Amino acid sequence: MTSLDLIVLLPELMLVGTALFVLLLDLFLHAEQRQWLLWVSLLGVVAAGVANGLIPTQGAPLMQEMIRFDEISKVLNFVFLLGCGLALVLSADYLVRQGIARGEYYALVLLSTLGAMFMGSSVDLLMVFLGLETLSIPLYILATFLRRNTSSQEAGLKYFLLGAFSSALFLYGIALVYGATGTTQLSAMAQEKTSLLLYAGVGLLLVGLAFKAAAVPFHTWAPDVYEGSPTSATAFMAVAAKAGAFAALLRVFALALPPTLADSWTLLVGVLAVLTMVLGNVVAVVQLNLKRLLAYSSIAHAGYLLIAVASAQSATLMEPATSSLLFYLLIYTLMTLGAFGVLLVAEGKGENLSMTDLGGLAIRHPWVAAAMAIFMISLAGLPPTAGFFAKFYVFRSAIQAGELGLALIGVLTSVVSVYYYLRVVYYMYMRPAAVERPVHISTLALAGIALAAVGVLVLGIYPPLVLGWIQQTLSVLP
Amino acid sequence: MLTLITFIPALGALLIGVISRERQALIRGVALFASLVTFALSVWLFFAFDPTQAGMQFTEERSWIPEIGISYHLGVDGISLVLILLTTFLVPLLLLAPWDAIKERLKTFSIMVLLLETAVIGVFLSLDLVLFYVFWEAMLIPMYFLIGIWGGEKRSYAAIKFFLYTMATSVLMLIAIIMLYFNSGLAYPTFDWSDLKNMHLGPMMEFWLFLAFVAAFAVKIPIWPLHSWLPDAYSEAPTTGTILLSALMSKAGLYGLLRFGLTLFPNAAVELAPYLLALALIGVIYGALVAAAQKDLKRMIAYASLSHLGLVAIGIFAMSSLATTGSVLQMVNHGVIIAALFWAIAILMERFGKRGLDDFGGAMSRMPRFAALFLVFMLAAVALPGTNGFVGEFLILLGIFLTKYQLYAIIGASIAILTVVYMLWMTQQVFHGPKAPQVETSSRDLEPQEVALLAPIVALILWIGIYPKPLLERISPSVELLISQAQSRIEQAQEMPQTHQDSQSGATP
């Protein structure tokens, strides 16, 4: 390990340091001083983000060829840190209301983010696995964080059992790939000949990651876990687990697998994408519970992200596919966290909100309702919000790759999605309040929601703000 | 300049957003000011526009999203010019209209109307296909709110039906736009209309892409049999929404057909013209027949609108510059007339609280001023000479008659008689005949301010009817350029051996 390695790892080290410090700090704080935990965590996230931005990228793999800090890692790290920071800001008051604003919570969120960052930077299958576990284990704990609440316990247990199972499959996949190629190095794999063993191993890798991404048919855990977990954890989970999984899909499938395999895995990913988009969107139509609705919505969005992965079929298609995936992940992070942020302020103490509970929100809290409407419109992929360009870009790379069918199914299912997203808008704007529910507005939560809403709108009107930056990634593509 | 015209309403909406909703007068004032400034600018544009020049004027081109080949490209020609004028003319009137339904939640209402205005203007001015698509879809959201919040009893059903129906086909257009980008065969891929109109597509590709575009436009117009959202949306929407839908958004569909459908895919357009003409003609007949059978005034006008728009579509599909000029003029006319008719029905509804045909009778005696104005609107709708409706319909029919589609002109002209029948019948029922019991109690004649609001519409109807030259001299060169470009593309395609097309189509006089 050289000093260069340590410098490049600075963002990750900062997160670990902050997590440990927050754990320690909690011991010395009185209950009413707990907001310091939030500020310290946020400081750590911001510092990591700054470090991530300032450290120059390295073309060569580091840490005994385990990690690579290139432009893609940079963008991914930024997305993860943004998701982490925004999730912390949005959930701070909810945690206090629920009585779970403890140091462990913040530390676990930070460590989970660390896992996602490792997944996004890894160039070795073992590192991907380590990242996956570092991401997942804190999430299992976060899901059960309301430990006196049975549905939270149930969510945690379900997530843990199924998650452990999928991790095992992923590990077995690594073993098979190693058996076939004699290496776990992603760059070395690309030169290997194909064999049945490799096919089987790659299939298992895909299953393991599809589970984390909640792609159909490996999605069954998502609705229950999303519904049962504390909403703040759900919000973070919806973003972090998905972004991490797609980071790994990008590293393993799009950037590393031998070109001879491309036909078979893109076909597989394409099939997954179609199943995910169709099932996610169609089942979401009948959901009345908001958290379940957002769970199915996040499944559906995994389908659109899979389109981007499936479009990365050859060297020339790599650049549009990769940047559309990264752009989509960023926008997805903003709009999903924004929507969960509104849920968090509308929820008092962990009761499960249904759509009718949003009735009359537009009259009582016009700004919150307007922000929620923006998130819904963006999730549905309508202009002039960023969700439109995210989808547009994905469909564009799909058509460029000749996957017209995927693009068609993508647009048609997003018409279906308009129905349920607009129903949320309908309840907020066109229904009177059934019960006058208090909305727990605080400056901090409002600032978070406003940041997400403005981001969604500004990137919808002028996407080059981040697109240009993301497209720098093409400089490192093979 | 064009950017200003497009975005001043949106700026106004933004400004209203930060005003407290208690200050209704201020909200009204800001909304009105924004829309009037836009109108003033577009009037200026109308006179600054050089009629001798057929191409795009006042173009603005900036890079917008260079990463994926999208530019911010606006431009105005004679066709979009008159449609912009129609839009900016109607919106201030609608904001001034004193309808009771809109008294509550005025703030949201003003924001939505202004955002819609921006979107509609953007549709008419965009020369980049993605930019066009963004505005095109952006029209839906404010309209969803307008129908959903202020609509009638079945408003949520009507709003979502309208939304899903139009979106389902416009996403197909989105896919077609992206396909176009990758298959245009130009030296560099682009979404820019002014480059794409010179491309060469394979016949199959052109056929399917044209179909996707036509589907999106046909739903918006709507063309039979894609109209089933129309009766619900038109009759459930509040009057402002109905007028915006019928007067402006249907024009967006027709405009798209003309600007993008014909110029990008001329070969497919000619090949499919007989079928599309037949559908449009069925729409004309069907709309007229169903309108004649309606008992509900608003629904009757909705179907009448369907019938009239079918005729405009016929004028576009015929590929004759005379008929198309007529169509463009008739788009403006239809916008003005249909707005006036829905407005008149809103006045009746406000007074009587009902809108069934049988609820009225003998209103003439109590509302003479209103009856006189209504007569003007009605006569314009049935295209009496001297009104604007006549000029437009006459040009369309004449233009079609000079092509090989004479049969359509003959049938279309005959249907005009049917229109007269149900329109006159409706007028007779409402204003003459035995007095309905409510007439004594409920009817009030028009207030002076109501007359003042309707007066510009009457003036426009008569002005275009008597002296359409200022409009026609701006529309005509642009239409001719458009059609001749399309025809030269058709000729090019014929020189290539694999296509067989009828050379007779679209003979221009």
What does the pLDDT look like over A416-433, one tens digit per residue?
A: 999 999 989 988 888 887
The closest alpha carbon to A243, from A141, A328, A303, A170, belongs to: A328
The confidence band for A476, taking pLDDT boundaries of 50, 70 and 90, is low
Given a cut of 60, is residue B501 above it in pLDDT? Answer: no
Residue-level pLDDT at A157? 92
- DSSP for B127-161 reads -BHHHHHHHHHHTHHHHHHHHHHH--TTHHHHHHH
**Distance, C-alpha B227 to centroid of its chain:** 14
CA distance A70 to B100: 62
Over residues B46-65, the mean pLDDT reads 84
Q: How far apart are the first and last CA of chain B?
A: 36
CA distance B282 to A56: 67
Residue-level pLDDT at B508? 38
Task: Compare CB distances from B148 to A389, A429, A471 and report the shortest one's residue.
Answer: A429
Q: Do B148 and A467 touch (CB under 8 A)?
A: no
Say which DSSP state A28 is in.
T
Q: Which residues of A80-97 are buried (b: 16+ CB within 10 A; e: fewer)?
A: bbbbbbbbbbbbbbbbbb
The closest alpha carbon to B468, from B376, B366, B386, B401, belongs to: B386
Over residues B172-198, the mean pLDDT reads 84
Residue B20 region by backbone torsions, left for phi larger than 0, else alpha for psi between -120 and 50, else beta:
beta
Non-local (6+) Cβ contacts of A54 within 8 A are: none
Amino acid at residue number B90: L
Q: Is B72 exposed, middle or buried (CB count within 10 Å of its CB: 0-12, 13-18, 19+)?
A: middle
Tell me if A231 sits within 8 A of A350, measured CB to CB. yes
| Predicted confidence (pLDDT) per residue in A48-68, tens digit | 999 988 888 777 777 778 888
Q: Which residues pair with B62 in a beta bridge?
A: B72
Which residue in chain A has the smallest CA separation from B20?
Answer: A366
B-chain CB neighbours of A372 within 8 Å are: none
CA distances from B323 to A164, B124, B126, B309, B509 (A): 70, 20, 24, 14, 10
CA distance B375 to B391: 18
CA distance B455 to A352: 56
The closest alpha carbon to B90, from B106, B113, B58, belongs to: B113
CA distance A366 to A359: 12
Q: Do B164 and A419 touch (CB under 8 A)?
A: yes
Q: Do A468 and B67 touch (CB under 8 A)?
A: yes
Question: What is the token pair recorded at A303?
Answer: 């389908």
Residue-level pLDDT at A173? 93
The confidence band for A350, taking pLDDT boundaries of 50, 70 and 90, is low
Check CB contact of B182 with chain A, cutoff 8 Å: yes
Check CB contact of A430 with chain B, cutoff 8 Å: yes
Least confident of A257-271, A317-331, A446-460, B237-251: A257-271
B-chain CB neighbours of A392 within 8 Å are: 68, 130, 174, 178
Q: Do A382 and B66 touch (CB under 8 A)?
A: no
Residue-level pLDDT at A264? 82
The closest alpha carbon to B333, from B391, B372, B274, belongs to: B391
Check CB contact of A323 with chain B, cutoff 8 Å: yes
Over residues A392-415, the mean pLDDT reads 90
Instruction: Note the helical H segments in B402-468.
Output: 406-431, 437-442, 448-466
The closest alpha carbon to B428, from B382, B383, B381, B374, belongs to: B374
Check CB contact of A105 with chain B, cutoff 8 Å: no
Which residue in chain B has the smallest CA separation from A411?
Answer: B171
Residue-level pLDDT at B503? 40
CA distance A40 to A18: 7
Over residues B169-198, the mean pLDDT reads 85
The radius of gyration computed from the CA coordinates of chain A, to the nearest angstrom, equals 21
Check CB contact of B178 with chain A, cutoff 8 Å: yes
Which residue in chain B has the smallest CA separation from A401?
Answer: B182
The closest alpha carbon to B352, from B370, B340, B338, belongs to: B370
Question: What is the token pair recorded at B25?
Answer: 């007068």
Q: What is the pTM of this model?
A: 0.91
Which residue in chain B has the smallest CA separation from A468?
Answer: B67
CA distance B410 to B285: 12
Mutate to test the interface with A, among B22, B165, B167, B211 (most CBs of A within 10 A): B167
**Which of A:37-56 have CB within 8 Å of B?**
none
CA distance A58 to A2: 13
Over residues B295-308, the mean pLDDT reads 87
B-chain CB neighbours of A473 within 8 Å are: none
The confidence band for A136, taking pLDDT boundaries of 50, 70 and 90, is very high
Mutate to test the interface with B, among A426, A462, A465 (most CBs of B within 10 A): A426
Check CB contact of B154 with chain A, cutoff 8 Å: no
The closest alpha carbon to B141, from B124, B120, B172, belongs to: B120
A286: distance to nearest CA of chain B, Å?
Answer: 15
The confidence band for A14, taking pLDDT boundaries of 50, 70 and 90, is very high
Q: Do B140 and A382 touch (CB under 8 A)?
A: yes
A-chain CB neighbours of B155 within 8 Å are: 430
A-chain CB neighbours of B181 within 8 Å are: 396
Least confident of A108-122, A242-256, A265-279, B361-375: B361-375
Count Cβ–Cβ pairs < 8 Å, chain A vs chain B: 88
Q: Do A430 and B171 touch (CB under 8 A)?
A: no
More confident residue, B175 or A435: B175
Given a cut of 70, is residue A112 above it in pLDDT? Answer: yes
CB atoms within 10 A of CB B428: 12
More confident residue, B497 or A36: A36
Check CB contact of A388 with chain B, cutoff 8 Å: yes
Q: Which residues pair with A337 in a beta bridge?
A: none
Least confident of A245-259, B330-344, B346-360, B435-449: B435-449
Given a cut of 70, is residue B102 above it in pLDDT? Answer: no
CA distances from A287 to B160, B386, B397 (A): 17, 57, 52
Given a cut of 60, is residue B184 above it in pLDDT? Answer: yes
CA distance B76 to B91: 20
Residue-level pLDDT at B502? 41
B-chain CB neighbours of A404 within 8 Å are: 175, 179
* Predicted-complex ipTM score: 0.90
Q: Which residues pair with A268 in a beta bridge?
A: none
Amino acid at residue number B203: P
CA distance A428 to A370: 9
Non-local (6+) Cβ contacts of A136 within 8 A are: A112, A115, A163, A167, A212, A241
User: HSE-up of A358 (CA within 13 Å, CB side)?
Assistant: 29
CA distance A80 to A105: 17
Query: Are β-strands B70-76 and B57-65 bridged in parallel, bridged antiparallel, or unpaired?
Result: antiparallel
Residues of chain B with pLDDT > 90, as a percent, come to 12
Q: Do B65 and A411 touch (CB under 8 A)?
A: no
CA distances from B148 to A375, A377, B44, B139, B155 (A): 19, 15, 35, 14, 5
The closest alpha carbon to A271, from A402, A412, A416, A409, belongs to: A409
**Distance, C-alpha A439 to centroid of its chain:** 27
CA distance B434 to B362: 5
Q: Do B134 and A414 touch (CB under 8 A)?
A: no
